[in-house]
Chain A
């Protein structure tokens, strides 16, 4: 029997707002433990939450970018469970009326586009961080637990996909695409390695052609796109194996172990956990004013998928469009300015994706000094044959080094090719004249001799002639 995987992904995005979700403490990482805390995010008796408007604007931006509907009124709920790093022992989250519902994200894999449904995007607060001390940091054998509440109350957006993904590769691409959307919106650092964006996957299998959903397993702890793909791959195989050998998939949460590349069971859920959700009485419903939503909609930038489509339409190969689209905002701006200054998109893209990206990688900080006009000028120097392709790299180096515009650098560094045909003809004729043997060799069929003559012309022009033009001229004269 062949099997189909059904995968849904839950994403937690830590917002990069200045202050926390429900208090004025700074959102800031890497500081001494428990320095960015106050009565509210420590859950002290009597403290109350006040929602952060900027966080709501961020989730609205995410929701609108994912083509979601915005709930006209949205309600916070308390999600009740006991955990040492959850200071109130309930998390302020959302239940039946999330801020955003029913959106989608288009992903592309192997030239095929799939529309992945977004069930909801809701707002919640992060927990503190537990560090288990002693005996390898494992909770069951730890001697003590250290708690840092700097992260407690940091705004989180949870984005839940529909179970529309069918392969591990699709799951990876979905995660990558969503990350790029969030990064583009500028609402989060969106760095997997720092945990500012986190992915959990719900995986089930079913016989090919079935429409019922199988028992799902939630897998956690994937901290790179690659580990997400591997974990889903592993989990699918594990489930198929299990079922084919007469076993049964149980609903549970499994932990991905990066080193051994397996998932192992964390806890078995008997039905769904009872979080005893109820409306958060310390907060009033959020009313999403149409004007406000419209203002946020108007600030949404061009999204990666839209940009790729535009670049392809302008004539770029889809791979170049993808690479360029994923480049830094500065490089993308240089590209746009270069094309705006009249350069052909392909040439501009080649320079930006190639030499400029390499230059940016070398520089510290990653800022490179070249305007779109400079790059467009350089491209036109190459296209008109006044600067050779190899000399152009030198010109670029000069421009980046602040030596002046492309043509100034080419002049200063003496890299302008001889493009005046009459001048070149004179040189070619001189060379042919002093090499009569070469001429006779050519005429008796030894056409390879052309290379020798071209070399002589290049030498005579000190490399400033366009070799292709010289080649053509030499042949022309020899044929005469």
Chain B
């Protein structure tokens, strides 16, 4: 039986365990696994203990802050935490202690969550393997010679081994869903604008969205409910009413129209992944869903558009790291030399590559052919999605074309790495919600993820289908870290 927020909450309220006890369980898992998977950049022992003690005291007084009360939680290290080092896995922010909490952090604290620590990521969330961290790679708990996916690899790995019962990741092109898929957990990217980005260190502002990583679908809806909602500090925050995302977790899929995306299969997809996804589609059909194959031809250009839009925005977002006000400073003769030296030394190869790409794409004379064209592709993708959702309630696909790949396998070939996000990027370009649910293991005991996509604010239906996928898949396994077990 895997650990979950729901179970922990029940144990806590029945008196079987205290919040401090839950924290100790999580910290024990971390101490047993960290040397092998390196999920965390910072573990906040003192802060977490204080929060857990407060959670227990509150509960003793009858103050129950809800389903996340006393739950050990991990945060991807690109969300700022007051007084707690936040680096985005970059040398340029080494030692940086933010003076404020991100809105999601404020909301989690208000909900009684106990923040265990900050998890590893690809530097500035740029990557799909958590190998681009300035502080060392993370590894997949199912096979420590393989990557956990990325960029929220630390968050996914920590939840997978139970060092936290839930975590937040950020998803710009698949950075929540793909590592969730590779680590056998549930990862969800909400509708753009529903979760505040205030305090999220920006990678590509028009694509970034924070979302939950949990072991089960129900937990995912619980965390989403706690963190989403309008935030006056984020001008792109959606001001309207939000649905109850967990309202139909037990409604089944009878009568729902489920679209299988034709473009997300074929070359480059592992056969076991395709077989597993097809089998799940078959089961959904047996459970009463109407299966319709849909074509979204613009998906062919999604990756190219993404790799112009995201670096373009990143080139401006990362301009503020200049050594003037905070973080790393490498001295120089003049201010300009200081800035250049700081940035040259402070950024790793992937942010550097993307800053250069983005700067180029925005340059006079190239703007229209690159950035302008990418925006047109983005519109075309949104239109394709719009047409598809006239026929179906949700779209499904693999989350990742492959299971976890060996560490180092794609580091020398950025284009191969970029292909890891082929299934997830379209939902970022459209701003739609999508979730990855684990549906089983391949022959090498590596998890396979199933993606459910829905139109904007379609979280309730998305989770409805995801919950049925979870039931039908019956996936209930945890990784076993051999070296530790002995």
Residues of A within 8 A of B (CB): 39, 42-51, 78, 80, 82, 84, 87-90, 145, 147, 274, 276-278, 281-284
Contact residues in B for A88 (Cβ distance below 8 Å): 316, 319-320
Q: Are A87 and B198 in contact (CB under 8 A)?
A: no
Give Cα A90 to B320, complex, Å. Answer: 8
Among the 9-residue stretches B230-238, B345-353, B402-410, the one with 4 or more Cβ atoms under 8 Å from chain A is B230-238
Q: Are A87 and B235 in contact (CB under 8 A)?
A: no
B231-260 CB contacts (< 8 Å) to partner A: 232-236
Q: Are B202 and A46 in contact (CB under 8 A)?
A: yes
Q: Are B364 and A84 in contact (CB under 8 A)?
A: no
Give Cα A51 to B233, complex, Å. Answer: 10
Give Cα A277 to B364, complex, Å. Answer: 9
Give Cα A185 to B233, complex, Å. Answer: 30
Contact residues in B for A277 (Cβ distance below 8 Å): 362
Question: When the two chains form the complex, which single residue of B96, B233, B235, B367 contacts A45, counting CB atoms closer than 8 Å?
Answer: B96
Question: When the two chains form the complex, which single residue of A44, A274, A278, A282 contacts B371, counting CB atoms closer than 8 Å?
Answer: A278
Among the 9-residue stretches B1-9, B293-301, B321-329, B387-395, the one with 4 or more Cβ atoms under 8 Å from chain A is B321-329
Among the 9-residue stretches B97-105, B128-136, B282-290, the one with 4 or more Cβ atoms under 8 Å from chain A is B97-105
Contact residues in B for A43 (Cβ distance below 8 Å): 320, 325
Write out, one digit per residue, whether chain B residues 315-344 have a CB within 8 A of any chain A CB (1) or not (0).
110011110111000000001100100000
B74 close to chain A: CB less than 8 A: no
Contact residues in B for A44 (Cβ distance below 8 Å): 80, 98-100, 325-326
Q: Give the interface SS of chain A, mostly helix, strand, loop or mixed.
A: loop
Contact residues in B for A274 (Cβ distance below 8 Å): 363-364
Give Cα A145 to B325, complex, Å. Answer: 12
Q: Are A45 and B98 in contact (CB under 8 A)?
A: yes
B205 close to chain A: CB less than 8 A: yes
**Known contacts A44-B326, A47-B198, A82-B322; A284 and B236 CB within 8 A of each other:** yes
Chain A residue at minimal CB-CB distance from B365: A274
Give Cα A88 to B316, complex, Å. Answer: 8
Given A45-B96, A274-B363, A274-B364, 19 other A-B residues pairs in contact with their CB atoms under 8 A: A44-B98, A45-B80, A45-B326, A46-B102, A46-B197, A46-B198, A46-B202, A47-B199, A48-B234, A49-B235, A80-B362, A87-B324, A147-B325, A276-B359, A277-B362, A278-B312, A278-B313, A281-B206, A281-B313
Give Cα A44 to B326, complex, Å. Answer: 8
Give Cα A43 to B316, complex, Å. Answer: 12
Q: Are B316 and A90 in contact (CB under 8 A)?
A: yes
Give Cα A80 to B232, complex, Å. Answer: 26
Contact residues in A for B324 (Cβ distance below 8 Å): 84, 87, 147
Q: Give the interface SS of chain B, mostly helix, strand, loop or mixed.
A: loop
Give Cα A78 to B314, complex, Å. Answer: 12
**Known contacts A46-B80, A276-B362; A281 and B205 CB within 8 A of each other:** yes
Contact residues in A for B367 (Cβ distance below 8 Å): 276, 278
**Known contacts A90-B319, A283-B236; A46 and B98 CB within 8 A of each other:** yes
B79 close to chain A: CB less than 8 A: yes
Minimum Cβ distance to chain B for residue A155 (Å)? 15
Contact residues in B for A282 (Cβ distance below 8 Å): 202, 205, 235-236
Contact residues in A for B205 (Cβ distance below 8 Å): 281-282
Give Cα A43 to B319, complex, Å. Answer: 10
Q: Are B362 and A278 in contact (CB under 8 A)?
A: yes
Contact residues in A for B320 (Cβ distance below 8 Å): 43, 45, 87-89
Contact residues in B for A84 (Cβ distance below 8 Å): 322, 324, 335, 339
B201 close to chain A: CB less than 8 A: yes
B461 close to chain A: CB less than 8 A: no
Contact residues in A for B164 (Cβ distance below 8 Å): none
Chain A residue at minimal CB-CB distance from B318: A89
Contact residues in A for B100 (Cβ distance below 8 Å): 39, 44, 47
B206-229 CB contacts (< 8 Å) to partner A: 206
Contact residues in A for B316 (Cβ distance below 8 Å): 78, 80, 88-90, 276, 278
Q: Are B98 and A283 in contact (CB under 8 A)?
A: no
Q: Are B364 and A45 in contact (CB under 8 A)?
A: no
B346-384 CB contacts (< 8 Å) to partner A: 359, 362-364, 367, 371
Minimum Cβ distance to chain B for residue A77 (Å)? 10
Contact residues in B for A283 (Cβ distance below 8 Å): 235-236
Q: Are B319 and A89 in contact (CB under 8 A)?
A: yes
Minimum Cβ distance to chain B for residue A238 (Å)? 30
Write out, one digit per residue, whether chain B residues 75-99 have a CB within 8 A of any chain A CB (1) or not (0).
0000110000010100001001011
Chain A residue at minimal CB-CB distance from B340: A82
Chain A CB within 10 Å, residue with most, of B80, B320, B363:
B320
Chain A residue at minimal CB-CB distance from B124: A45
